[in-house]
Structure 1
Amino acid sequence: MIVGIDLGTTHSLIGVHRAQGGELFPNAHGDLLTPSVVSLDGDTVLVGKPAQDRLVTHPHLSVAAFKRLMGTSHETKLGDRRFRPEELSALVLRSLLADAEAALGERVTEAVISVPAYFTDAQRKATRAAGELAGIKVERLINEPTAAALAYGLRDRAGEGRVLVLDLGGGTFDVSILELFDGVVEVNATAGDNYLGGEDFLELLIKTFCQRNRIELSRLKPVDLAVLRQRMEQFKRALTDERSIDLELKLEGNAFTWSLDEAGFAQLAEPLLQRMRAPIERAMRDAKLKPSDLDDIVLVGGAVRMPMVARLVTRMFGRLPLRHIHPDQAIALGATVAAGLKSRDESLEEVVLTDVCPYTLGTQVAHRVGNQIQAGYFHPIIPRNSVVPVSREDSFYPMHDGQKQVRIDVFQGESPMVEKNIKLGEINVPLTAGQGESGVLVRFTYDINGLLQVEVTETGSGKRHELLIEQNPGLMDDAEIRERLERLQSLKIHPREQQQNLALITRAERVYEEHVAMRSSVQEWIAHFRNTLESQDLARIEQDRKRFATALDELETL
């Protein structure tokens, strides 16, 4: 069975394609959205809703937004254990797979996972590694804007067309221009910002609130910081639906208030909105298109609910964007279509999906300026937005007579200086004696799976040298993946059938933490519910769970 997965910064979803269309599976709490949060409770791993509540009650044992760390060697300390971003993502994937298998009644073995279009080579390989750690084969990575286009059914539109897809998620912003014709979905151009998303708008509110109330953010206790983030996230969402909101918040025993309307929020966020404009304009330039050349503009990602985003797009293009599919679900639904295409689902007509190389690939060269040689310049070989698979070559020559070797450095990036780009590898090529000015011919070949092959040929002797860029600095090799997989096996995943009860208890513990005046009542409710769980009477447990949840709802609305 092949499933489609949206592995998001803030929330993740899983589903499958059936004859009637994409179907997303609910988690143990009945929600389609599973928070991308992991918490450790002894040797037991909590994922999703209960882990999200433990961000407040056990901040030192809980972590969120780790998708932004994919492709790095950063390790997060939870208790006495350390986790790489791939491992944390694998734990989220395991939870999603358990939900899918519960709904399907069979084991899931393969998945198509969506990734930001602007994800680097390293980030894509880290996502594949996360799937391997979760025990599944990641047959394909699909760019999120392409998935969104499939979800909107744009592949079925009559005739040809160009579509601009803007995906503002929790942690990343993607821009893709797609051309659709004769069953082909071809990416014309892509751009984005891997560090711009809903989390940045949240951080803006937090910093502004602290500045206006003279709160030193760095000195807040972890619990107070977690409460602040949670309440500010609620505040941000409320500003999406209402013109003006009053916030009341207690931190370290002090009461604070803040009143803000949506227009004021948009004014504060103007620098972030300007950051959104840059990749949109770059993608349009790369595709050599004018606004009038676009047939549709599609908004996806949870953060596009903010009215300021639609206003920005309307001002830039003079028309309203499409938002008729749930913005949180569009990418996951598209991933299920891609999974259906992969499994050759009979209900789907064959669609050809093309991709592009999101970054420029090249090498380092030196220039002779007068009597001096200045190294460190970037020489592009495969320009960004080249349709893959792609193969390009260029010739290079030694700087000195009698030079015995040349080093071909492989870089990825857009800066004219290599020091600001990402080094992927290098290959040293000996030069045959007496070769003279013949130099070397360098060919870069980039395939659909994100593998880069570098081939260097000595033009004098015809000798060939090859380098396959499969690993990047900071990524795990096969041996480390096996070692990390064994370590993850020692962790227990909380049984799915008990997760509703666990989530309710962790929520109650958070409410106890936040509502000092009601602690006695909340503690009594927790004790009563734990006693009910001991009875193992399922009907009684369900009845008490509903009663307990209602009591917490009423308390939190006071």
Structure 2
Amino acid sequence: MDTQQQLIAIDLGTTNSLVGIYQDGESTLIDNAYGQKSTPSAIALDESGQILIGQAALELRHKGLPVLTSFKRLMGTDKKMQLGQQRFNATELSSLILTTLKQDAEHALGHSVNEAIITVPAYFNDIQRQATISAAELAGLKVARLINEPTAAALAYGLGQSEDSCFLVFDLGGGTFDVSIVELFDGVIEVRASAGDNYLGGDDFVSMIMKQFWLAHGVQFGAEEGVETIPIDIETALRAKAQRALHQLSKDSQVSLDFSWQGVDAYMQIEQQQFNQWVEPLLTRLRRPLERAMRDARIRPNDIDQIVLVGGATRIPVIRKMITKLFGRFPSTSIQPDEAIVRGACVQAGLKAKDQSLKEVVLTDVCPFSLGIAITEEHVFDPIIERNTVIPASKVNNYQAIHKGQRSIGVKIYQGEHRLCKENIFLGELDVPLPPNNELLTIDVRFSYNPNGILDVDVHVPSTGENLQKVLINHQSVMSAEQVEQARLELAKLKIHPRDNLVNKALLLRAERLFSEHTGYLRQEIGEKTQQFSQILDGQDERKIRETRPYFEKFLNDIEQQGMFDDY
């Protein structure tokens, strides 16, 4: 394969993002500037006005500075997020993450890349998928294919399977939840059904810890009794502590959440059983898409051969316990949950590039939601493509004008499962003119849904022979080509911290955080080591910096592992 045309694969996640390639018959993940596979989907602005992306951005949370995360949940909306004096939408913020991943890939491969396979939640609607494509364009990437996240995971899992089987992909990331029923037979990986929730993920379990902490201790920080709303500066710092507590609960039966802010200290002991009670409403929300997917696939729990867990949030013990109880067996742990999606996307990149080692693999996917139009004056939803139809799909329905002599028909397009259109997602509309006539004229409406999950709408008017075509875009929230170009020019003006110095910056910010968290001898030692490393950086001797950095990083790792009990 021509390296200049080499496809990269990107898992653009709510919490973390990864990039890889398919090479020499296998998926290979690419390290970022920190030497890690995973890049936090976080963006911040430091005191000098430079944009920090990834781990360095997260290290600013303890200062109460704005750190933008979870913006993937806002894809396809008009909502803006503030960073310094500028405001960005989720598409622009996602493009910065994609740009960073593209640079990591180019650094590792030694040549430029301009095309990518990008994963999206199966339940992302047409508008969100268009926004993802716009984000890629802003980053200088052409999208060769959007692939649903659980489908990518199924591809990674099914590639090594030789026997026919039916498995369930349970994909719980930082901000979204998807579930897919997949059958593997005769070299074909077939997605039978998908369901999900775009606003349910690990972030919600973190938020539940924050809510309980604030209800118990908010008064100490100036809040009124019983108030759940956390001030934004405190919320940013508290979220970091709550995330650590959640990670700890994945290993231990209890954890302590210690939080300090402007001289006020608060402490909370969290028991595993107590946490399980807090998140019961979230578990109920997880069960609904599970039941829908199995109902649509017309299978029972005992028909499932294996349950594949995908996404970092599946490490939460109460979630694994729920799955084990529902299916009467333990889920599979053969694939690293954090890497399954990007590894499957790498396989898709190999398929797209016609890699010879993948010539026997066939993948089929489904449309995870129903697509249709509003009919009657009450705006009742009439599905044209039903959910879990195998894609690509194309279907035409015939519709009649409501009144004789009607001069136009408004075709309003929706996505969803509710009988009433107002309860579904509005995707766009097309006004179809009709000729003067005293009859009830008809139109043919064709929906075509491609493998990227993008909907095309074609309307034919039999009485005139006229055809109207619309590549469906909701202009209120998806960027036009002109807007993409304007945004690209604006983003190019940003002062983004140089990639080569990002690791050093992150280490200094991490040292500052640990200094603020500790007291006594440890604080003194952290201060001394930080000063020594800063002086070496000031010397600008690259060889000396490379030699010293691992020792400073190990020192910080040791401090983090010791925790609060060694302050003396």
TM-score (ref. length: structure 1): 0.92
Q: In structure 1, what is the equivalent of residue 352 of structure 2?
A: 342
Q: Which amino acid aligns with 1:393?
A: V
C-alpha change, 1:437 and 1:114, in structure 2 (3 Å) is same
Indicate if the aligned counterparts of 2:374 and 2:411 stay in contact, CA closer than 8 A.
yes
Residue 394 of structure 1, CA deviation: 2.2
- Give a deviation string over 1:97-143, Cα, whole Å, max 9, x none: 22222222222221111111111111111111111111121111111
Pair 1:129-2:134 in alignment: yes
Matches of 1:31 and 1:468, distance apart in 2: 39
- Give a deviation string over 1:258-293, Cα, whole Å, max 9, x none: 222222211211110110000000011111111222
Residue 555 of structure 1, CA deviation: 4.5
Q: In structure 1, what is the equivalent of residue 39 of structure 2?
A: 34
Indicate if the aligned counterparts of 2:64 and 2:234 stay in contact, CA closer than 8 A.
no
Aligned counterpart in structure 2 of residue 500 of structure 1, from 503, 516, 528: 503
Pair 1:433-2:439 in alignment: no
**Which of 497-506 and 246-255 deviates more?**
246-255
Matches of 2:9 and 2:338, distance apart in 1: 14
Aligned counterpart in structure 2 of residue 81 of structure 1, from 80, 86, 89: 86
C-alpha change, 1:101 and 1:439, in structure 2 (3 Å) is closer
**Which of 328-337 and 456-465 deviates more?**
456-465
Q: In structure 2, what is the equivalent of residue 180 of structure 1?
A: 184
Matches of 1:223 and 1:241, distance apart in 2: 29
Q: Which amino acid aligns with 1:479?
A: E
Aligned counterpart in structure 1 of residue 164 of structure 2, from 160, 164, 176: 160
Q: In structure 2, what is the equivalent of residue 257 of structure 1?
A: 267
Residue 159 of structure 1, CA deviation: 4.4
Indicate if the aligned counterparts of 2:374 and 2:381 stay in contact, CA closer than 8 A.
yes
C-alpha change, 1:382 and 1:45, in structure 2 (3 Å) is same
Residue 88 of structure 1, CA deviation: 1.2
Q: In structure 2, what is the equivalent of residue 371 of structure 1?
A: none
Residue 36 of structure 1, CA deviation: 0.7
Pair 1:356-2:366 in alignment: yes
Please give the residue correspondences for 1:348-497 in structure 2 after superposition, counting only pairs within 5 Å.
348-366=358-376, 374-434=377-437, 436-497=439-500
Pair 1:299-2:299 in alignment: no
Matches of 1:214 and 1:64, distance apart in 2: 23
C-alpha change, 1:222 and 1:530, in structure 2 (3 Å) is farther
Residue 228 of structure 1, CA deviation: 1.5
Q: In structure 2, what is the equivalent of residue 113 of structure 1?
A: 118
Q: Which amino acid aligns with 2:176?
A: T
Matches of 1:455 and 1:496, distance apart in 2: 46
Q: In structure 2, what is the equivalent of residue 199 of structure 1?
A: 203
Matches of 2:519 and 2:236, distance apart in 1: 16
Matches of 2:120 and 2:133, distance apart in 1: 10
Indicate if the aligned counterparts of 1:362 and 1:381 stay in contact, CA closer than 8 A.
yes
Q: In structure 2, what is the equivalent of residue 169 of structure 1?
A: 173
Indicate if the aligned counterparts of 1:451 and 1:470 stay in contact, CA closer than 8 A.
no
Please give the residue correspondences for 1:186-225 in structure 2 after superposition, counting only pairs within 5 Å.
186-215=190-219, 216=223, 222-225=232-235
Q: In structure 2, what is the equivalent of residue 45 of structure 1?
A: 51
**Which of 30-39 and 249-258 deviates more?**
249-258
- Give a deviation string over 1:202-241, Cα, whole Å, max 9, x none: 0001101111234437675544333311111111111111
Indicate if the aligned counterparts of 1:57 and 1:513 stay in contact, CA closer than 8 A.
no
**Which of 477-486 and 294-303 deviates more?**
294-303
Residue 249 of structure 1, CA deviation: 2.8
C-alpha change, 1:293 and 1:551, in structure 2 (3 Å) is closer
- The secondary structure found in structure 2 opposite 1:347 is helix
Pair 1:54-2:57 in alignment: no
- The secondary structure found in structure 1 opposite 2:413 is strand
Aligned counterpart in structure 1 of residue 15 of structure 2, from 4, 7, 10: 10
Q: Which amino acid aligns with 1:204?
A: M
Indicate if the aligned counterparts of 1:424 and 1:473 stay in contact, CA closer than 8 A.
no
Indicate if the aligned counterparts of 1:43 and 1:491 stay in contact, CA closer than 8 A.
no
- The secondary structure found in structure 1 opposite 2:82 is strand
Matches of 2:525 and 2:34, distance apart in 1: 24
Matches of 1:524 and 1:459, distance apart in 2: 81
Q: In structure 2, what is the equivalent of residue 283 of structure 1?
A: 293
Matches of 1:468 and 1:29, distance apart in 2: 41
Aligned counterpart in structure 2 of residue 330 of structure 1, from 316, 322, 340: 340
Q: In structure 2, what is the equivalent of residue 232 of structure 1?
A: 242
- Give a deviation string over 1:394-414, Cα, whole Å, max 9, x none: 222222233332222111112
Q: Which amino acid aligns with 2:382?
A: H
- The secondary structure found in structure 1 opposite 2:60 is helix
Q: In structure 1, what is the equivalent of residue 3 of structure 2?
A: none
5+ unaligned residues in a row in structure 2: which ranges? 1-5
C-alpha change, 1:288 and 1:523, in structure 2 (3 Å) is same
Matches of 1:108 and 1:163, distance apart in 2: 35
- Give a deviation string over 1:30-52, Cα, whole Å, max 9, x none: 21111111122345321111111
C-alpha change, 1:521 and 1:319, in structure 2 (3 Å) is closer
Indicate if the aligned counterparts of 1:240 and 1:262 stay in contact, CA closer than 8 A.
no
C-alpha change, 1:513 and 1:472, in structure 2 (3 Å) is farther
RMSD value, Cα:
2.2
TM-score (ref. length: structure 2): 0.91
Matches of 1:342 and 1:441, distance apart in 2: 34
